[in-house]
Structure 1
Amino acid sequence: MRLPSLWYSRSTGGSSQNSNPRDAYSTTRCLTAKSPVPRHVAFVTGPTRRNSVRKQRKSKKYWTVLSLTLILVFGILAVGIEEGLKANSDPPISSNQTASEDSTFRCPPLNTTGANGSYWKPTTGTKWQIVLKQPLTNFDANVAVYDIDLFENQKETVDHLHDLGRKVICYFSAGSYEDFRPDSDKFQQNDYGRELVGWPGEKWVNTDSPSIRSIMKSRIQQAAQLGCDGIDPDDIDGYTADTGFPLSTTTATSYLNYLIDEAHALNLSIGLKNAAELVESMKDKMQWSVNEHCVTFHECDKFRGFVGMGKPVFHVEYVQSKGDELGVQNEVRDKLCGVKEARGFSSLLKTQDLGDWVQEC
């Protein structure tokens, strides 16, 4: 803040641009205290002298008040600047200090890392294994990723995989009711419809239901607590089946966006399971695709959008049996693994029970 020119010229005789306000104050104080009364004042008598002395006192009082006022102004400005700097910085929190002791401290939101996109992002060609039949006991597969059942495995299993340098995807059905799951009692009867063909005890659910979404949110939270790096929500393509509900690609997109938001909020990655019709709308938001038998159904080309973005397509084709000690016969392997549309996919051959056995393409 620049002081009035009058202050500088009367106090120090210098210019307003080169003088220091504190020096000006010191100079004024010294001049006021030490300078003798001018000679012409000493020879004035009577009223004239009293008037001169009164003017002298008034002048002294004026400059004193002005000096004190300016000091006060500078003090207030200094305090204001200091507080402003504090407000714009994050104050250090000592080990014994709580948030209540510092009103400027705010805990970060739960989904900070998710919102910033720091969740796991695998790349094209990442090797994987999928075991859903039972709790995982065989850790010998030389792969980077394991896809395992959310309910069949304990945190110790996930921790062990992490110790081995593996990432863990946790599988659950997001589009069906399964009567053998531990949370099956949470499903309301009017929220599940017709059975999935070939899967006794499993029924399609209404993915628009707030109750169903709440159950799936709890499952995603369970995956986070288990330590999973990502989730594999199955059966989200109910629009292709006779479910008993008016499901469509529009309702599926809405549902997937909900699952994506919930997963990312907990720093979990999420993949698109099958649902070729949704690849174009979901490939930007999801971190990979898990595809079953795209070669058999002649739709591998529809999933290439993920590969084009550097994201993996975790692809599995099912075979009738494991074959001999060398695996399935060459002609079967060539038929399922030699499709050019699947180049760049992370392709496996598995039996449909999804046990330990696996053969890479």
Structure 2
Amino acid sequence: MRIRPAWAVPLPRPARVRRRGPGRGVAALLTVLLLAPVPGCREPLVPPGAPTPWPAALARQWQWQWQLTGPLDVDVDADVFLLDPVRTTSTETTALRARDRRLVCQVRVGWYAATDPDVDRFPTDVRGAPVNGRPDGRWLDVRRWDVLAPVLADRFRLCRGKGFGAVALDGADGYLHRSGFPLGFDDQLLFNRRLATLARSLDLSPGLVDDVPQVAALAPDFDFAVNQECVRRRECAKLLPFADAHKPVFHVEYTGDPTAFCVTTVGYGFASIRKDRALDAWRDPCPLPLSTRPRG
């Protein structure tokens, strides 16, 4: 007689116990859902790969910070941070995104600085006159889209790679300055619209910096505006095409008493702050209107 080894003898199957109601997996899932914290008043953080949304319902509720110099203060009580994508580290953007902050990178598009890491990619024939107030800066010939587009696309990709969801186009008004090129209104308009399209193709929300004379024409193409000193220059009303479309207007004044200029800008629906021109961490924000302060 052949004897089977012990390991070859099949074990008896345990009797099936019929359970009532959901299984353990479902019960565990329900427990997690019940114990999970209830979301607060902030909009859910948008994951990488999608442009930053600007819900119309929050149009008058934004608080913002603009910092380009000094150690980055990630603890500032602001919803939106406008930052330099080269100086800002991925660690810093990760810390801000973990707190549901919306991140906007400031990219030079119509001029370059001698310290830009990609400056050698601009051929001599697209480099123009010095930028007023920036001795190391030069205007670019924005008519040369074939030359500028690859460089600017890589700058946008740097923003996207570091976790930014929006891009603010700095220097998108060379036609208003002595750029060294015969730039006209239409040249600038075409360039800026191309930039907005390029930003969207790379999953970035486009924002217009200054260029107030073209706001009425460009407001449909851009998601938000960044403005410097519209109160001092007496041109805040020209930014209303953004505000009337429930798009954010992030406004800064470098002089004056906020208790005075906030009355005008907050009334227009802008998110306004007072800053030093160095654009370090210090800020003095305008209060939100009582009727629009988020609850919770």
TM-score (norm 1): 0.62
After superposition, residues 55-134 of structure 1 pair within 5 angstroms as 119-122=51-54, 123-125=58-60, 126-134=62-70
After superposition, residues 1-361 of structure 1 pair within 5 angstroms as 119-122=51-54, 123-125=58-60, 126-134=62-70, 136=72, 138-209=73-144, 210-319=146-255, 332-339=257-264, 343-361=268-286
- Give the partner amino acid of 2:186: T
CA distance in 2, matches of 1:351, 1:299: 20
Structure 2 gaps of 5+ residues are 1-47, 287-296
1:293 and 1:215, CA in 2 relative to 1: closer, same or farther beyond 3 A?
A: same
1:247-288 deviation line (CA, Å, top 9, x unaligned)? 122111111121111111121101111111111121112110
CA distance in 2, matches of 1:135, 1:258: 34
1:359 and 1:340, CA in 2 relative to 1: closer, same or farther beyond 3 A?
A: closer
Deviation of 1:305 after TM superposition, in Å, equals: 1.0
SS in 1 for 2:180: coil
CA distance in 1, matches of 2:162, 2:265: 38
The structure, 1 or 2, with the larger RCO (C-alpha pairs under 8 Å, 6+ apart) is 2
Deviation of 1:232 after TM superposition, in Å, equals: 0.9
Fraction of identical pairs, as percent: 27
Deviation of 1:341 after TM superposition, in Å, equals: 8.2
Deviation of 1:343 after TM superposition, in Å, equals: 2.5
SS in 1 for 2:100: coil
Deviation of 1:338 after TM superposition, in Å, equals: 2.7
Structure 1 gaps of 5+ residues are 1-112, 320-330
1:135 and 1:152, CA in 2 relative to 1: closer, same or farther beyond 3 A?
A: farther
Q: Based on CA coordinates, which of the two structures has the bigger radius of gyration?
A: 1
Is the contact between residue 195 and residue 204 of structure 1 (CA under 8 Å) also seen in structure 2? yes
Aligned positions, number? 234
CA distance in 2, matches of 1:342, 1:263: 30
1:102 counterpart residue number = none
SS in 1 for 2:226: strand
CA distance in 1, matches of 2:134, 2:260: 27
CA distance in 1, matches of 2:271, 2:166: 17
Is the contact between residue 129 and residue 141 of structure 1 (CA under 8 Å) also seen in structure 2? yes
TM-score (norm 2): 0.75
1:50-84 deviation line (CA, Å, top 9, x unaligned)? xxxxxxxxxxxxxxxxxxxxxxxxxxxxxxxxxxx
Deviation of 1:342 after TM superposition, in Å, equals: 5.5
SS in 2 for 1:202: strand
CA distance in 2, matches of 1:306, 1:317: 18
Deviation of 1:211 after TM superposition, in Å, equals: 1.5
- Give the partner amino acid of 2:185: T
Mean Cα deviation higher: 125-134 or 166-175: 125-134
Deviation of 1:202 after TM superposition, in Å, equals: 0.4
SS in 1 for 2:65: strand
SS in 2 for 1:284: coil
Is the contact between residue 290 and residue 313 of structure 1 (CA under 8 Å) also seen in structure 2? yes
1:156 and 1:340, CA in 2 relative to 1: closer, same or farther beyond 3 A?
A: closer
